[in-house]
């Protein structure tokens, strides 16, 4: 029997189908009509049960007759399945970043999420990439090319952008600016990690884990290696699919 | 009726256009958050009526009082001893400061990184959109935080403000200072009203306010029951309305509601399933119409069973214990009671940590949500100690920092749902 997990994120929608193993795994852009995107993604798919997570969960689940689970739980379940030895998850998504500590049984023991603003999220990087005239995929490599270290003091997306603009006006090298931005995010994430009290091994998931510079900086600051899943964006959808199979949903 | 209100608002010098926008916005919000709840106690009908005419009937009563020579005293904080105002024949009203609507207005004067409660209250005066402020003869502020303290100086340029000094420690010297403040406040109120505060009328006022506190205690005790007979949103509304309604009527209404809840409890009827997670909310006050957090928590299938806050237990959990003596003794009794409020403006404030742990147990809470208005530094900093203490006690905690706007609803839902999944019994 097939079970489906859908993660309706702010930037991308992820689908994983599962029976005894992962059958299919997809990532598409969310766009302006996530409901239609989800329908397209699920058309011609046959499944026993659907669990929905992500920002669009309350929009999509009632229409598609799915159950609801929070991303925190979905990421915890997905990570533990992929890496039975993992005790912590760092997830940096489009709209938020979270750090999750797991119990022996794989339940969520503690978690931290960024506050109301976009600081320290994929969105922050995307806006800054735009200012530096690279795309989201390129900003990590640009940062790795830096020949010197400078500092960005502001983590507020709005203020950081003006800080970046003034650094550009001062003639600073784009690579160094990009590095400083990564540095700022990594510092922020590490603060959250300290609050939760992270335990090895640590999975780094979410779209931002594709960024090699961020990965490197986090590893340096934490002093440990991070496990990056092969498909880091679909860990939440996988968790949702696993919950669909187990029949244990959210609240 | 509606026209009569408009005429009254005009006479109060209000800015009618934005006020109309505010009033039109409140209806649908109240419908969505309150009236859509199922299985509500009938006793909530009074509160629905009060909110339905929130700037009408009560303001009219205050105006009648003023026409007969009475005075209206507006306050923002549970530290202002209302007994003294009642004793001198005045009417105290706790002003609402819980609406996002007036925040942008305030930001034209106050720094943006000021807490929403301060901005909201200031914006109401600046924009002339609150009839309660307009109808009051004196605003009484206090020194419970730096933001308020400085805001009151500016507010005083628009309307008369008197500020009471709340000390920051609970030493004997601080208690003496506070007693002096209470006596000075009595003098201010006597001058304003032209009436003397006596041992006798103060004693009567103490009894009246204590009665309302007992009624609220009764309501909150009913929330300790499993399954809980009333939603957290409804209980919060009762407390919020108590800040500005007539104390005697309010006591009657709360007791009538409790009579009904007694029957529910006897029949084992709950507002939520018996296995719904029970949440204790602790932290910054929620002034009317701030129902944001309760709404998110209860929409996610949990139920709020208690508020450790100024719009909760800190408002009524201690009674004034009047002695047999005259005015001096009654004033001392009043001062003592207010110094027992465990506000984060005090250092140290260990008693609040004890309260949270005790309340979590008494109310059979499955978890605590620490609610912190953004830029409210005292509560935000104290939260670190709350966290440590609850960890030691094995009580799950979620820390929320937010304001009155809706921008972060998605993130809050996310966190709260994850927290509920974590603590679900």
Q: Are residues A174 and A249 in the same domain?
A: no
Residues B424, A58: C-beta atoms closer than 8 Å: no
Q: Are residues A16 and A94 in the same domain?
A: no
Q: What average pLDDT does range B58-87 have in this prediction?
A: 97
Residues B312-324 have pLDDT tens digits of 999 999 999 998 8
Residues B422, A115: C-beta atoms closer than 8 Å: no
Q: How many domains does chain A have?
A: 2
Residue ranges of chain A whose pLDDT lies below 50: 251
Q: Are residues A247 and A143 in the same domain?
A: no
Residues A108, B422: C-beta atoms closer than 8 Å: yes
With an 8 Å Cβ cutoff, is A73 touching chain B? Answer: yes
A248 burial via Cβ count (<10 Å: 0-12, 13-18, 19+): middle
| SS3 labels along chain B | CHHHHHHHHHHCCCCHHHHHHHHHHHHHHHHHHHHCCCCCCHHHHHHHHHHHCCCCHHHHHHHHHHHCCCCEEEECCCCCCHHHHHHCCCEEEECCCCCHHHHHHHCCCCCCCCCHHHHHHHHHHHCCCCHHHHHCCEEEEECCCHHHHHHHHHHCCCCCEEEECCCCCCCHHHHHHHHHHHHHHHHHHHHHHCCCCCHHHHHHHHHHHHHHHHHHHHHHHHCCCCCCCCCHHHHHHHHHHHCCCCHHHHHHHHHHHHHHHHHHHHCCCCCCCCCCCEEEEEECCCCCCCCHHHHHHHHCCCEEEEEECCCCHHHHCCCCCCCCCCHHHHHHHHHHHHCCCCCCCCCCCHHHHHHHHHHHHHCCCCEEEEEEECCCHHHHHHHHHHHHHHHHHCCCEEEEEECCCCCCHHHHHHHHHHHHHHHCC
Q: Which residue has the higher pLDDT, B410 or B187?
A: B187
Residues A251, B415: C-beta atoms closer than 8 Å: no
Two tokens at B97? 């400061």
Q: Are residues A91 and A14 in the same domain?
A: no
Residues A69, B410: C-beta atoms closer than 8 Å: no
Q: What CATH number should be reported for the domain holding residue A147?
A: 3.30.420.40
Residues B411, A116: C-beta atoms closer than 8 Å: yes
| Substitution target from B395, B414, B420 for chain A, most A beta carbons within 10 A | B414
**CATH (residue range B2-203):** 3.40.50.11890
Q: What average pLDDT does range B197-202 have in this prediction?
A: 97
Residues B407, A72: C-beta atoms closer than 8 Å: no
Give the model's pLDDT for residue A118: 61
Closest in B408, B410, B421 to A108, CB measured: B421
Residues B418, A108: C-beta atoms closer than 8 Å: yes
Global pTM? 0.93
Q: Are residues A211 and A245 in the same domain?
A: no
CA distance A111 to chain B (A): 9
User: What was the ipTM of the complex prediction?
Assistant: 0.87
Give the model's pLDDT for residue B5: 95
Give the model's pLDDT for residue A11: 86
Domain that holds residue A133: 85-228
With an 8 Å Cβ cutoff, is A75 touching chain B? Answer: no
CA distance A218 to chain B (A): 24
CA distance B311 to chain A (A): 24
Give residue ranges of B with CB < 8 Å to any A CB: 277, 300-302, 374, 401-402, 407-408, 410-411, 413-415, 417-418, 420-422, 424
CA of A251: which chain B residue's CA is closest?
Answer: B421
Residues in chain A within 8 Å Cβ distance of B418: 70-73, 108, 111
CA of A54: which chain B residue's CA is closest?
Answer: B414
Give the model's pLDDT for residue A114: 78
pLDDT for residue B332 is more than 80: yes
For B23, how many CA atoms within 13 A lie in the half-sphere containing its CB? 18
Residues B101-131 have pLDDT tens digits of 999 999 999 999 999 999 999 999 999 999 9
| Substitution target from A70, A121, A236 for chain B, most B beta carbons within 10 A | A70
Residues in chain B within 8 Å Cβ distance of A107: 422
CA distance B417 to chain A (A): 6
Residues in chain B within 8 Å Cβ distance of A116: 374, 401-402, 407-408, 411
Residues B257-290 have pLDDT tens digits of 999 999 999 999 999 998 999 999 999 999 999 9
Give the model's pLDDT for residue A251: 47
Residues A205-248 have pLDDT tens digits of 998 999 999 999 999 999 999 999 999 999 999 999 999 999 87
Residues B142-154 have pLDDT tens digits of 999 999 999 999 9
Give the model's pLDDT for residue A160: 77
Residues B338-397 have pLDDT tens digits of 999 999 999 999 999 999 999 999 999 999 999 999 999 999 999 999 999 999 999 999
Q: Are residues A152 and A188 in the same domain?
A: yes
Measure the CA–CA gap between B391 and B393, rounded to whole angstroms. 5
Measure the CA–CA gap between A204 and A172, rounded to whole angstroms. 31
Please report, for chain B, the start and end positions of each structural domain, with discontinuous segments joined by +.
2-203
Closest in A72, A96, A251 to B300, CB measured: A251
Q: What average pLDDT does range B209-218 have in this prediction?
A: 98
């Amino acid at each position: 029997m097939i079970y489906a997990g859908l993660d309706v994120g702010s930037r991308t929608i992820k689908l994983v189908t599962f029976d005894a193993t992962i059958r299919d795994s997809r990532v598409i852009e969310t766009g302006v009509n996530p409901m239609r995107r989800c329908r397209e993604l699920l058309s011609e798919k046959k499944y026993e049960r659907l669990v929905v997570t992500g920002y669009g969960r309350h929009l999509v689940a009632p229409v598609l007759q799915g159950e609801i689970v929070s991303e925190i739980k979905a990421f915890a379940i997905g990570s533990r399945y992929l890496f039975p030895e993992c005790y912590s998850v760092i997830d940096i998504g489009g709209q938020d970043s979270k750090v999750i500590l797991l119990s022996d049984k794989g339940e969520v023991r503690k978690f931290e999420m960024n506050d109301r603003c976009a600081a320290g999220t994929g969105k922050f990087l995307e806006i800054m990439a735009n200012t530096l005239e690279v795309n989201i995929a390129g900003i990590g490599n640009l940062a790795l090319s830096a020949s010197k270290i400078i500092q960005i003091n502001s983590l507020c997306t709005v203020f950081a952008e003006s800080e970046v603009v003034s650094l550009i006006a001062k003639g600073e090298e784009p690579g160094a600016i990009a590095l400083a931005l990564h540095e700022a995010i990594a510092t922020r994430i590490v603060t959250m990690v300290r609050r939760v009290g992270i335990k090895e091994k640590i999975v780094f998931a979410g779209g931002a884990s594709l960024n090699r510079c961020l990965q490197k900086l986090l590893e340096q600051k934490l002093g440990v290696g991070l496990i990056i899943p092969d498909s880091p964006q679909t860990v939440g959808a996988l968790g949702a699919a696993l919950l669909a199979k187990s029949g244990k949903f959210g609240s | 009726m509606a026209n009569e209100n408009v005429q009254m608002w005009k006479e109060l010098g209000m800015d009618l256009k934005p006020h109309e926008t505010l009033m039109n916005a409140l209806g649908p919000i109240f419908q969505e958050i309150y009236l859509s709840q199922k299985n509500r106690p009938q006793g909530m009908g009074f509160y629905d009526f009060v909110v339905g005419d929130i700037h009408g009937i009560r303001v009219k009563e205050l105006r009648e009082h003023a026409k007969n020579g009475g005075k209206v005293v507006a306050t923002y904080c549970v530290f202002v001893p209302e007994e003294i105002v009642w004793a001198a024949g005045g009417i105290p009203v706790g002003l609402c400061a819980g609406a996002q609507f007036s925040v942008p207005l305030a930001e034209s004067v106050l720094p943006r990184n000021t807490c929403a409660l301060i901005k909201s209250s200031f914006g109401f005066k600046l924009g002339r959109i609150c009839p309660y402020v307009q109808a009051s003869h004196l605003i009484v502020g206090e020194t419970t935080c730096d933001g308020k303290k400085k805001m009151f100086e500016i507010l005083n340029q628009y309307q008369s403000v008197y500020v009471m000094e709340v000390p920051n420690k609970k030493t004997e010297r601080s208690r003496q200072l506070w007693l002096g403040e209470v006596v000075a406040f009595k003098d201010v109120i006597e001058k304003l009203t032209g009436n003397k505060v006596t041992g006798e009328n103060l004693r009567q006022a103490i009894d009246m306010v204590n009665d309302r506190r007992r009624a609220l205690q009764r309501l909150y005790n009913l929330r300790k029951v499993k399954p809980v007979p009333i939603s957290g949103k409804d209980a919060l509304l009762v407390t919020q309305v108590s800040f500005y309604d007539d104390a005697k009527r309010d006591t009657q209404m709360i007791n009538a509601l409790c009579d009904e809840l007694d029957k529910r409890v006897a029949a084992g009827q709950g507002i939520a399933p018996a296995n719904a997670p029970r949440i204790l909310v602790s932290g910054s006050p929620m002034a009317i119409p701030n129902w944001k957090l309760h709404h998110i928590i209860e929409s996610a299938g949990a139920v709020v069973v208690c508020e450790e806050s100024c719009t909760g237990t800190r408002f009524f959990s201690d009674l004034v214990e009047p002695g047999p003596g005259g005015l001096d003794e009654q004033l001392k009794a009043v001062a003592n009671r207010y110094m027992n409020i465990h506000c984060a403006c005090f250092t140290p404030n260990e008693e609040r940590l004890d309260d949270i742990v005790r309340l979590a147990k008494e109310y059979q809470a499955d978890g605590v949500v620490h609610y912190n208005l953004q830029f409210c530094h005292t509560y935000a900093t104290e939260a670190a100690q709350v966290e440590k203490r609850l960890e030691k006690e094995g009580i799950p905690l979620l820390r929320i920092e937010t304001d009155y706007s809706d921008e972060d609803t998605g993130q809050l839902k996310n966190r709260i749902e994850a927290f509920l999944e974590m603590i679900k019994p």
